[in-house]
Structure 1
Amino acid sequence: MLAHLIFVLNTTLVILNSALCSLAICLVAVLKVLLPSAALKAKGTQLANKIMWLWATINSLILNVSNRVEWDVEGGEELKQDGWYLMISNHLSWTDIVVLCSVFKDRIPMPKFFLKQQLLYVPFIGMACWALDMPFMRRYSREYLIRHPEKRGQDLATTRRSCAKFKHTPTTVVNYVEGTRFTKQKQRKSRAGYEYLLQPKTGGIAYTLAAMGDQFDSIIDVTLAYPDNTDKPFKDVLMGRMSKIVVRTRVLPVDEQVRGDYFNDKPYKRQFQQWLGDVWQEKDELLKELHQPSSSIK
């Protein structure tokens, strides 16, 4: 009974926090439209980022007050708030967004998530994300491009236009490389050979690197785990049942392994796929250790 009362209370608080912060950011969005210069619009974006920081701080408070969470966070000590980063992470649940923002909100620029074009039309949320300069993507399938070859290359062009907004403001761009949340059913269906991960998709990260590769200081490789709440971590958070959150961070260089023409240079494409595959294999091995009942891995 108590867990269900906590669930109702937490859900209400999270919805209220998201609605009020989204409304405030929407007001900033209206202001940005009216501002006459790019410099002033950038100031509007900075204000929207501060509101997002407030949203993340309140969510973190809700999580910590209603759950007896053991935070096991290591790595990334060299990160700074005035840098440009590409963050890649495994993806387990909606909890990941709250965790990433909670852990990194005071260490790096507020994260920008690549969003599906359809989310732009969600009331309040879509306009709030637009005010935060989050990139909205309309991905075309291979079959669609065969039928409409004139659309080929537009994904990359859209990414470059979106990322152009980040050139003058320190930014963290987040890419969930697997493209979807992990479930055991998806894991079995993918037949990728990982125990705790899905097959990484190189296209999304390649688009981002092609658009901003020269600007990124580093790649932040984050591994998330909820070893005691693997089935429904988001529901467990809302019910006050989350007991442990593990975050491991590696900072990888933006070097020749990730620099190149992914779309026209086939040898580089194979090299890049191998690089990402190696990163994902190491992540899976780490997750195996973190999920051991007596794990003492730090």
Structure 2
Amino acid sequence: MSRFFAAITLILSVALTILVTVACSVPIIIAGIVKLLLPVPVIWRSISLFADFMMYCWCEGLALLLRLNPHLKWDVEGLEGLNKKNWYLLICNHRSWADIVILCVLFRKHIPMNKYFLKQQLAWVPFIGLACWALDMPFMKRYSRSYLLRHPERRGKDVETTRRSCEKFRSHPTTIVNFVEGSRFTQEKRLETRSTFQNLLPPKAAGMAMALNVLGAQFDKLLNVTLCYPENIHSPFYDMLTGKMTRIVVRVSLIPIAEDLHGDYVNDKSFKRRFQSWLNTLWYEKDVLLATIMQKKKAGQ
């Protein structure tokens, strides 16, 4: 691909992204303010459905963004059996900012609108932060181990945030998305966290366990999603914006939510150990899958 074509694609992609984001987020923000001023259940549900529709329009705009790249190929398995009338908890590995775009575009016609667990810093991003607030997405503030040792009163705050947010999703079908690694994967972070996985960071179980505990009876299935950009591993988001991304690999598996996945993660140490062990096993299988995908890429398949 020529540098000229990449530059033109970058300009068009950024302009389109800004235009679509502003056009869709402003009505969502206004709807959120109305919902705040008129906390009536009937009005709240109607406004939530409107906000979800505007998010769907945003996803359609992102799909148009990806169509600017004529060389992009999707390699997707596992979309069968999904339904927009169900509740889902979606967990996924986190490689890049591109992940959110891919998940929104891929699942927009298959499951209810995605609601993401977001870092607290994103609340200050113009338009996007307020729109996510209006969509009731939970903002998570991560604390270091050393900070929690000095301020033990902060322990469990993210779990409480998760509980309050999940309670709002009981009224209509929702997909809650949790990047359980808590951060985008890099080799530096892998070494820093002493990860035992080759392609993943260690999974954080608390938010996921709380979502299952609060809405467990309503979740129809757990969506285990594995994302990989085998030909664009170093800068997938930039490559997506410049039209250099060539292949997106997505593997989706539906996992039944067993009764033993429901429990008090905060106070029940036995359940906490079982749940973390179960999630680690799931993450090991995901690590093997990612290695297989990358190996096929090296073999030219």
Q: Name the TM-score class by shorter chain.
A: over 0.9
| Counterpart pick for 1:194 among 176, 197, 213 | 197
**1:131 matches 2:148:** no
| 1:183 matched residue in structure 2 | 186
Q: Deviations over 1:124-175 (max 9, x none)?
A: 2222112211122345555555544555544333322211110111000000
Q: Tell me, what secondary structure is at the counterpart of 2:172? A: coil
Structure 1 residues 229 and 35: alpha-carbon distance in aligned structure 2, compared to 1, 3 A threshold: same
Distance in 2, matches of 1:158 and 1:74, equals 33
Q: Deviations over 1:51-85 (max 9, x none)?
A: 11111111111112224111111103111101111
| Counterpart pick for 1:9 among 5, 8, 12 | 12
**1:275 matches 2:278:** yes
Amino acid at match of 1:98: V
Unaligned stretches of 5+ in structure 1? none
What does residue range 1-298 of structure 1 map to in structure 2 within 5 Å? 1-35=4-38, 37-291=40-294, 292-293=296-297, 294=299
Unaligned stretches of 5+ in structure 2? none
Structure 1 consecutive aligned stretches of length 4 or more whose deviation exceeds 6 Å: none
Distance in 2, matches of 1:96 and 1:116, equals 15
Distance in 2, matches of 1:47 and 1:58, equals 17
Identity among equivalent pairs (%)? 49
Q: How many residues align?
A: 296
Report the more deviating stretch, 127-136 or 218-227.
127-136
Distance in 1, matches of 2:187 and 2:160, equals 35
Structure 1 residues 103 and 145: alpha-carbon distance in aligned structure 2, compared to 1, 3 A threshold: same
1:183 Cα offset (Å): 1.1
Distance in 1, matches of 2:170 and 2:44, equals 14
Is the 8 Å Cα contact of residues 159 and 207 (structure 2) preserved in structure 1? Answer: no
Is the 8 Å Cα contact of residues 209 and 263 (structure 2) preserved in structure 1? Answer: no
In the superposition, the TM-score normalised over structure 1's length comes to: 0.92
Structure 1 residues 74 and 37: alpha-carbon distance in aligned structure 2, compared to 1, 3 A threshold: same
1:200 Cα offset (Å): 1.1
Q: Tell me, what secondary structure is at the counterpart of 2:219? A: coil
Structure 1 residues 143 and 195: alpha-carbon distance in aligned structure 2, compared to 1, 3 A threshold: closer
Q: Deviations over 1:231-272 (max 9, x none)?
A: 000000111011000110011111134222222222222111
1:118 Cα offset (Å): 4.0
